[in-house]
Chain A
């Protein structure tokens, strides 16, 4: 049955190739949309997870960009039993040279080591370090102007996180002057055996203007992530549905196109089940080959996107095993459904009518 299915595919080279292309592009589109949406969330959450069990933001703020927490609280948080490290960060964005927007991170010095230096030194006052992907695009490799402030480039760093690799890092104090805030948030580290809940309670008791949460809880419930997740889920669902419906309809057209063959085989006494199984094997072969091609193609595209200077590393995708399995199983099921539905309809038609229909 397998060799006959393969022969049928080879015999209809053009049709098989077109089905293969449709399958591949549908699956690639699903891969890219889903993985880029996941990638954006993963990048931001990786940044937050990188050095903190807990996050402290301004109370009742929906976006970390608008949060302002007073750095004077840092020594008091450090004094809480079980706390090992408190770092602060300011998130901002600004145009630089021809680039319409770049991410700006004002960072306390105790988290500079997160940025792996490729050259130079970590920034001092009025100095800045630049992400590798941004550095390549700058005309002036010595100075950067952000707003009305001029900074000397003291080094170039590299980060696995696209948002960071496409941004610049400066001292918290300098960023504070630009964005007129003390800090966007604090990242709090604690000892392994510490009671996180009691630490959170102690931090929250320090001021009624702040809100401390566990990092994992914060990420899971962060409004912006919910918005990105919801909108990406909607887009992914639409793309996914369209892709899968395309796959099902392509297979359905293919089966309809071969109604005469269905009729001939039934006239010879071959059961509809056996004929349908043979067609499902054909769709499975095309599905598997297309999936592998789409998987490779998507990874190449994502790699190109990751290293694209135009996108500054802000767009990044991640194809997880879970996503791959999900797409593989659903595409195979949909292509099988595309075969089964017209096959069921053909099995109810008299063989001679199928033969006549196919030869019209």
Chain B
């Protein structure tokens, strides 16, 4: 599902990822842990095609990302991304934010996602009218909108209380059980424990695999 070979990334002259090699199978729950600045968010951005690496190869769904001509379209079809700071569009309602990820307005699918995340009643509210936890759930619903094969989540519980964090954990686990590959960057040990494999990062390198 995901193959990474000799992946390196620099921010100007500072190395962020140093010769990363890893392999992730379909339907697995992977956690990337590490101190702040260890490179876990950069790795997630590179794996999800949101950031081009300086060097190295990434193969997603049997396709080398360098060979993908329309990367936006590939991302839309196959990848869902949950950001730490939700990044919802403020002038759109929660429902419209979810529909952004869809080619056509699919009311039924959107409502299903809203129901799954328990936020049906928020569909006509704007992001600034709902709580942080609710925004994060909308962000997850948006990532699920296209039924992606892989979901990347960067600190999805970073801004949530324990109750909301638990809900997000359960949901990710549920998605994983239904066949979606989940890759999460987190410093939350409870969330990391749910993972099939944990990659620990230090100074841009994978220091341990559990």
Is A7 located at the chain interface by the 8 A CB criterion?
A: yes
**Cα distance, A12 to B73, chains bound together (Å):** 29
Q: A355 to chain B: which residues have CB within 8 Å?
A: 83, 87
* CA of A58 to CA of B77, assembled, Å: 81
Chain B, residue nearest A265 (CB): B100
Compute how far the CA of A324 lies from the CA of B74 in the bound complex, rounded to whole angstroms.
45
B45 A269 Cβ-Cβ under 8 A: no
In the complex, A264 Cα to B52 Cα: how many Å?
16
Q: Give per-residue flags for A262-277: 1 if the beta carbon is below 8 A from chain B beta carbons, else 0.
A: 0011111111100000
Q: Say yes or no: B45 contacts A352, CB within 8 Å.
A: yes
Complex formed: what's the CA distance from A271 to B103 in Å? 11
CA distance A266 to B81 in the complex (A): 11
Which of A260, A261, A264, A271 is most buried by chain B, counting CB atoms within 10 A of its CB? A264
Contact with A along B78-98 (1 / 0, CB 8 A): 010101010101111000100
User: By the criterion of a CB under 8 Å from any partner CB, how many residues of chain B are at the interface?
Assistant: 25
**Contact, CB under 8 Å: A7 / B92:** yes
Partner of B91, one of A8, A272, A350: A8
In the complex, what distance in Å separates the CA atom of A33 from the CA atom of B27?
Answer: 68
Please name all residues of chain B whose beta carbon is closer than 8 Å to the beta carbon of A269 when the two chains form the complex: 72-77, 79, 101, 146
Measured in the bound complex, the distance between the Cα atoms of B45 and A284 in whole Å is: 34
Asked if A353 CB lies within 8 Å of chain B CBs, one says: yes
- Contact with A4, one of B45, B87, B90, B96 (Cβ below 8 angstroms): B96
**A10 vs B85: C-alpha distance in the bound complex, in angstroms?**
24
B61 within 8 A of partner (CB): no
A166 at the B interface (CB under 8 A):
no
Assess A264 versus B87: contact at CB under 8 Å? Given A4-B96, A269-B146: yes
| Residue on A nearest B78 in the bound complex, by CB | A269
User: With A261-B89, A267-B81 known to touch, is A352 a contact of B50 (CB < 8 Å)?
Assistant: yes
Q: Interface code A1-19, partner B: CB below 8 Å = 1, 0 otherwise?
A: 0001001101110000000
From residue B55, how far is it (CB to closest CB) to chain A in Å?
15
A residues in contact with B72, CB < 8 Å: 266, 269-272
Within 8 A of A (CB), among B53-72: 70, 72
Flag if B91 contacts A10 (CB, 8 Å).
yes
Q: Does B142 interact with chain A (Cβ within 8 Å)?
A: yes
> Considering the chains assembled together, what is the distance between the CA atoms of A352 and B83 in angstroms?
10
Tell whether A351 is near chain B: CB-to-CB under 8 Å. yes
Instruction: State how many angstroms separate the Cβ of A279 from the closest Cβ of chain B.
Output: 13
Known: A7-B91, A260-B87. A268 touches B76 (CB 8 A): yes
Give 3 nearest A-B pairs by CB, closest first.
A269-B76, A11-B91, A352-B50
**A-B contacts besides A267-B50, A352-B51, 4 pairs, CB < 8 Å:** A10-B91, A267-B81, A268-B75, A350-B52
Which A residues contact B (CB, under 8 angstroms)? Answer: 4, 7-8, 10-12, 260-261, 264-272, 350-353, 355, 359
